[in-house]
Chains A and B, each alone.
Chain A
Amino acid sequence: MAMNTQGRPSAPLHTPDPGAYDDTFSGSRGLDQAEPLIFERQTYDKTGVDFETPKGTKSRLGALERTEDLGLPGLSEPEAMRHYVRLSRKNYAIDIGLYPLGSCTMKHNPRLNEKMARLPGFSDVHPLQPQSTVQGAFELIGELAHWLMTLTNMPTVAMSPKAGAHGELCGMMAIRAALDARGESHRRRVLVPESAHGTNPATAVQCGFFCDEIPAGPDGRVDMEAFKAKLGDDVAAIMLTNPNTCGLFERDIRAIADAIHEAGGYFYCDGANFNAISGRVRPGDLGVDAMHFNLHKTYSTPHGGGGPGAGPTVLSEALAKFAPLPFVIKEGDSWRMVEDEADARAQGAQPFGRMVAFHGQMGMFTRAMSYMLSHGADGLKQASEDAVLNANYILARLKDVMTPSFDGLCMHEALFDDRFLKDTGVTTLDFAKAMIDEGYHPMTMYFPLVVHGAMLIEPTESESKASVDRFCDTLEALAHAAKAGETERFTAAPRFAPAKRLDETRAARQPVLRWTPAASEA
């Protein structure tokens, strides 16, 4: 037979020497394209859209007319598209892989949500259009409010806060309004456990309170004796996260609620970790006075996937009337937005003010509503149970190779510390960077501050057993490698990421917050 030697070879001709030619001429690596900032392209001569120069209009700007170019980057449409797609490929997303960021609830965002959020009646509404033309959107806000109040057994929910910390602000402002109305404005001390999210003390101080830290007991929960010792007639509130940031349920929560109420204060609950208990526990039954939801965590759309967040805040009977403007109400068959204070007072409310220009995030409301309706009450409960099960599975699988910080079961997230890395020369930071090489976004690290070198892992219910197993296999192998003295594997990490180890210290000490053109081109 005739051998055809003209065709394309189907096997490598020789084995390449690893390490040789590890740079490229273009700066791209394989099909991972090098991409500068849009301003660094320094091209101003193009545009994706051509407009004709307007004719017959006379400028009335006089001397104020701009004489220099704006200096906006010029890109054709395909270049603009490539720019953002290339940047997106350098990012890590829940749609690429497991995202174990503790206390962040990075769960899958069902595509049904996106379809619903894009319905024109929700996506194409303008905040100033007549109320009679957005009845459907109002109804969705009202229906979502009903679900949130039912899930928490609370009488009111302020829908307008735009994120978790904004919701905290809403709750604490309601508490301040209630204290002022009681004539007890002198109550300014807010008790905050040391494992709290950093936003809690920041919110309290922003509202004119000051913080008093409650230490954690050896079991990672609020030290009840220390808490009770801090109560007094100058205490405004306690801000508590449950489950807390150690992934533990605060078992004494009822006693905490009773004690703070008896002392004349209010109970703010940080709802960031609600994914552990949604559908299983109603905060209203626990004595909570205010709690924000992170709709964009608990009810999908993590970290603003597709838009900003939303932090609706439920309020107890004691705080309900101080809820901020605006809010929607149903009158007969139609919905209406209450926008001004006189109107609100006619409804028996005493709003502490207004937090946003218009209303909340319609896109987030729609996604959360879609998520809730598609899961149903039983599905939401199941999601929480699965999230807790996944976290405990990770805790059980890794407890012998890594060091869990507390004994017993956890809730939705598993907390480890760096004792297993002792004397290996590998730090929590190095370990996290090595995870990037393995294709995983690192877990939350160095938080909470109550344990040394914290590693906080939250898998959420989105992960299958196979996915969690693969993740645990990887962490197990890394832990063994660290103990076996493969220090370089960690200290040199990330070796395969688009950017190597970044200088976080210099970034904090000498931050460059704005791109400026090189001097010669300025």
Chain B
Amino acid sequence: MSTRFTKDHEWIRVEGEEGVMGITAYAAEQLGDVVFVELPEVGKTVAQGDELAVVESVKAASEVYAPVSGEIIEVNSALEDAPATVNEAPQGEGWFVKIKLSDKAQLDAMMDDAAYAEHTK
């Protein structure tokens, strides 16, 4: 399945029941150099729109929201020592968490590539 986007600049890529998510290239560019990422505990259950992580750049600290509801099954702890990865590969190596989705229908209302590109114009 292709990548989906929120209006708050999170992306999520779902395979089966699991999704991997992070912040978009546009968000990383706007934030500037990321210096710190605070990730949730594995096992935590989140609802769509809940505060999921905090990303701190030279400019500001920003909340990252859960794009979908579900359970956190893995976090990218490599970001703790290498927050720059978020700038280098925001939609690849710089992923934040993996979520086990509780409601896949939530994805339907989210933006696809083209719609997100339009959103950030």
B:79-115 near A, CB below 8 Å? 83-84
Interface residues of chain A: helix, strand, loop or mixed (majority) = helix
A446-B83 CB under 8 A given contacts A505-B33, A509-B35: no
CB-nearest residue of chain A to B82: A509
**Shortest CB distance A469–B (Å):** 31
Q: What residues of chain B lie closer than 8 Å to A509, measured between beta carbons?
A: 33, 35, 83-84
Q: With an 8 A cutoff between CB atoms, is A37 at the interface?
A: no
Q: How far is the CA of A446 from the CA of B57 in the complex (A)?
A: 12
Distance (Å) between the CB of A158 and the closest chain B CB? 29
Contacts of B60 in A (CB 8 A): 446, 449
Of residues 31 through 56 on chain B, the ones whose CB sits less than 8 Å from some CB of chain A are 33, 35-36, 56
Q: Which residues of A contact B56 (CB under 8 A)?
A: 508
Which residues in A have their C-beta under 8 angstroms from that of B58?
Answer: 504-505, 508
Taking CB atoms and an 8 Å cut-off, the chain B residues in 51-84 that contact chain A are 56, 58-60, 83-84
Minimal beta-carbon separation of B51 from chain A (angstroms): 10
Cα–Cα, bound, A449→B30 (Å): 12
Q: How far is the CA of A505 from the CA of B58 in the complex (A)?
A: 6
Query: B59 near A508 (CB under 8 angstroms)?
Result: no
A449: chain B residues at CB < 8 Å are 60
Residue of A nearest to B59 (CB): A446
Chain A minimum-CB-distance residue to B60: A449
* Complex Cα–Cα for A178 and B60 (A): 33
Question: In the complex, which residues 496-519 of chain A have their Cβ closer than 8 Å to any Cβ of chain B?
Answer: 504-505, 508-509
| Least distance between A212 CB and chain B CB atoms (Å) | 11
A446 neighbours in B (Cβ, 8 Å): 59-60
Distance in Å: Cβ of B90 to nearest Cβ of chain A: 16
For the complex, give the distance between the alpha carbons of A446 and B58 in Å. 10
List the B side residues contacting A508 at CB < 8 Å: 33, 35-36, 56, 58
Contacts of A505 on B, CB cut-off 8 Å?
33, 35, 58
Give the Cβ gap from A203 to chain B, nearest Cβ, in Å: 15
Encode A434-451 as 1/0 by CB contact (under 8 A) with B: 000000000000100100
Nearest CB on A from B80, distance (A):
11
Q: How far is the CB of B64 from chain A (nearest CB, A)?
A: 14
Closest partner residue, chain B, to A511 (CB atom): B35
A509–B56 CA distance with the chains assembled, in angstroms: 10
Q: How far is the CB of A433 from chain B (nearest CB, A)?
A: 14
**How far apart sit A446 and B62, CA to CA, in the bound complex (Å)?**
13
With the chains together, A446 CA to B31 CA distance in Å? Answer: 11
A343 to B73, CA, bound (A): 56
Instruction: Kindly report which residue of chain A lies nearest to residue B35, judged by CB atoms.
Output: A508
Which single residue of chain A is at the shortest CB-CB distance from B32?
A: A505
Which residues of B come within 8 Å of A, CB atoms?
Answer: 33, 35-36, 56, 58-60, 83-84
Known: A446-B59, A509-B35. 15 other contacts (CB 8 A): A446-B60, A449-B60, A504-B33, A504-B58, A505-B33, A505-B35, A505-B58, A508-B33, A508-B35, A508-B36, A508-B56, A508-B58, A509-B33, A509-B83, A509-B84
Q: Which 4 A-B pairs have the closest CB atoms?
A: A508-B35, A505-B33, A504-B58, A509-B35
A-B pairs with beta carbons under 8 Å apart, 17 shown:
A446-B59, A446-B60, A449-B60, A504-B33, A504-B58, A505-B33, A505-B35, A505-B58, A508-B33, A508-B35, A508-B36, A508-B56, A508-B58, A509-B33, A509-B35, A509-B83, A509-B84
**Chain A contact residues, CB within 8 Å of chain B:** 446, 449, 504-505, 508-509
